[in-house]
Structure 1
Amino acid sequence: MTGQPEINQRDLRNRSKEIMDAVQDGQSFTVVRDGHQIAELIPLRRRRRFVSRDQFVAMSRNAPTMDLAAFRADQDAAVDTEMSSPYDR
Structure 2
Amino acid sequence: MSTEIRQSDLRNDNAVIMRRVAAGESFVVTVNGRAVADVVPQQRDTGRRAFVPTADAVAALTSTPLSRSDARRWLADIRQDDDTPRDPWARQSSGA
Q: Give the TM-score taking structure 2 as reference length.
A: 0.48
> Unaligned regions of 5+ residues in structure 1, if any?
50-65, 72-89
Are residues 69 and 40 of structure 1, via their aligned partners in 2, closer, same or farther at CA, if it must alter by over 3 Å? Answer: closer
Give the match for residue 35 of structure 2: 37
Q: Indicate the RMSD between aligned Cα atoms, in angstroms.
A: 2.3
| Residue identity matched to 1:34 | N
Give the match for residue 15 of structure 2: 17
Structure showing greater radius of gyration is 2
Question: CA shift at 1:15, angstroms?
Answer: 0.4
Q: How many matched pairs?
A: 53
SS at match of 2:21: helix
Q: Give the TM-score taking structure 1 as reference length.
A: 0.52
| Residue identity matched to 2:63 | L
Give the match for residue 76 of structure 2: none
Percent identical residues: 34
